[in-house]
Amino acid sequence: MTLASDPVWFITGCSTGFGRDLARLVLDRGWRVVATARDAARVADLVAGHEDRALALSLDVTDAPGIVQAVAAAEDRFGRIDVLVNNAGYGYQASVEEGQDDAIRAQFDTNVFGLFALTRAVLPVMRTRRQGHIVNFTSVAGLVGFPGSGYYAASKHAVEGWSDSLAAEVGPLGVAVTCVEPGPFRTDWAGRSLQQTPVTIVDYADTAGARMDSTKGYSGEQPGDPVRAGEAIIAAAEMTDPPRHLVLGKFGYDAVTARLKERLSSIESLRDQAIGADFPA
């Protein structure tokens, strides 16, 4: 896949954090961007002065008719979408036992089903042109499960598995798929975008409870720079063969590589049992 010389980026969740910084970087390069947020007024300043290259749209990814309208507006304005960045989402923390059904389902509606729906709406645009790049923000939690983040990790693991299948289907059609897996970055994720169900069962105080407390207290001190992350995402999009995974930050890199090595070692240690489960040749 080769990125178009004047690409059109469609980015969700641009009111704050990764989405906002990435939209700015795209505009700084002279490219075109559709910047979306639940309230378009919150991204109006991004568009100001770039009206010829930027479009601000209200979009709630859980609103199916709104998705159709937003994609149509982007096509009408720019004629195509080259890079879709599924960034909108939020965190929910609880011990697994204390997770609340309505909170769990609401998170999946945004982090999973909304992402699925928007991608389905954009795919015909890319498939017809045999060109495009879908960038799905997951998390280190999409590859590693941490205490207190079981349901958040489940939503991100779901996107990772789905992205594997998506890549197998659209790769031959010229469409690349990348999952971005950030560790702790200095956005307002822990301050504004994180919901929690407090741990009240004492047995989980030292696992889920301790990690949930540290997550909230860590806000504003995370080592990751979201602008540098945006630069890394753009660099990946410019590659002839974009990566399937883009882990960002030292914490994320160390956690993911350690977990994958541990998992592979465990699986390989049971090779005989795995192969022995087949019918005899």
Catalytic residues: 152
- Judging by beta carbons within 10 Å of its beta carbon (0-12, 13-18, 19+), is residue 165 exposed, middle or buried? exposed
Residue 180 has φ and ψ, to the nearest 5°, of -100, 125
Torsion sign over Cα 256, 235, 50, 85 = negative
| Two tokens, residue 214 | 């540290």
Q: Tell me the C-alpha distance between 249 and 226, whole Å.
A: 10
**DSSP characters for 71-137?**
HHHHHHHHS--SEEEE----EEEB-TTT--HHHHHHHHIIIIIIHHHHHHHHHHHHHHHT-EEEEEE
Q: Write a three-state SS string for 246-276.
A: EEECHHHHHHHHHHHHHHHHHHHHCHHHHHH
Q: Tell me the C-alpha distance between 20 and 43, whole Å.
A: 8
- Judging by beta carbons within 10 Å of its beta carbon (0-12, 13-18, 19+), is residue 211 exposed, middle or buried? middle
How many CB atoms within 10 Å of residue 264? 10
| Two tokens, residue 138 | 């997951």
Residue 24, helix vs strand vs coil: helix
